[in-house]
Amino acid sequence: MTLKIISAEQIIFTGSVTSVTLPGAIGEFMVLKNHASLISALVAGTVRYVDETGKESSLSVEGGIADVDNNVISVCIY
């Protein structure tokens, strides 16, 4: 899967990942390979992702929006 995390100022991360956990408006959710397409508002919390080497990284966010489609997760944060 490809994860893209952007803000108004910069591209924060773009790369291949095996899982992404997002702070959705109605609760935290995880995206794995071949996840159904969706769009979700994000609330303050932590975006966590695991790259293809198994390294876990995280990023605190104040909110934003996530789009999942065809194994591409696009996250726009503020």
In order, the DSSP letters of 35-46 are PPPEEEEEEEEE
Q: Specify the pLDDT at position 49.
A: 98
Q: Which pLDDT tens digit goes with each residue over 5-51?
A: 999 999 999 999 999 999 999 999 999 999 999 999 999 999 999 99
d(CA 34, CA 6): 22
Question: Percent helix, strand and coil across the chain, each rounded to 5?
Answer: 0, 75, 25
Query: pLDDT tier at 59 (50, 70, 90 boundaries)?
Result: very high
Alpha-carbon separation of residue 43 from 22, 47, 61, 62 (angstroms): 9, 10, 8, 6
- Token look-up 């992702």 returns 49
Residue type at position 32? L
